[in-house]
């Protein structure tokens, strides 16, 4: 039985900016083949039973050595990530999106999930004012 998605079950920590990522001077970007997850730090990679690198949900990864182009494409195509643009893109960076109950990083197959969590969090912040 598949559990229904509830944005309240997740937290997006908006700790990482594009400048933060650029300043790491990474040689590669690793990103999910079937999820939106990505990172520049090889220490963030998980491994499956066969010892292959995977995302937090066990999904296959791609990698690129063209870090500058990867980030430039994101900056130049912000509409691809929905109404929050780069904010949504950065929400998928490793460790920014976690399961609320466990604090463990997670990932989603579509940008709309990150967008829903951001909308939920924004609404919560607004209601607290």
The DSSP result for 15-63, as a single string, is ---HHHHHHTT-S-EEEESSSS-EES-GGG-EE-TTS-EE-TTS-BEEE
Question: How many angstroms separate the CA atoms of 20 and 118, rounded?
Answer: 20
Q: pLDDT of 30-81, one tens digit each?
A: 999 999 999 999 999 999 999 999 999 999 999 999 999 999 999 999 999 9
Mean predicted confidence (pLDDT) in 89-116: 97
Q: Which two tokens stand for residue 106?
A: 């997670």
All structural domains of the chain with their residue ranges: 13-128
In a 13 Å sphere around the CA of 92, the CA atoms on its Cβ side amount to 29
Torsion on CA atoms 118, 111, 70, 19, rounded to nearest 10: 0
- Kindly report whether the global pTM for this prediction surpasses the value 0.85: yes
Which residues in 92-109 are b (16+ Cβ under 10 Å) and which e?
bbbbbbbeeeeeebbbbe
């Amino acid at each position: 039985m598949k559990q229904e998605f509830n944005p309240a079950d997740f937290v997006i920590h908006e700790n990482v900016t594009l400048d933060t990522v650029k300043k790491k001077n990474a040689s590669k970007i690793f990103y999910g083949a079937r999820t939106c997850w990505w990172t520049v730090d090889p220490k963030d990679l998980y491994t499956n039973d066969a010892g292959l690198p995977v995302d937090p949900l066990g999904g296959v990864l791609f990698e690129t050595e063209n870090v500058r182009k990867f980030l430039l494409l994101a900056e130049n195509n912000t509409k691809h990530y929905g109404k929050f643009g780069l904010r949504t893109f950065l929400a998928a960076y490793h460790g920014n999106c976690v399961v609320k109950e466990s604090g463990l990083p997670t990932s989603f197959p579509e940008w709309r999930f990150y967008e829903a969590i951001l909308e939920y969090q924004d609404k919560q912040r607004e209601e607290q004012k």
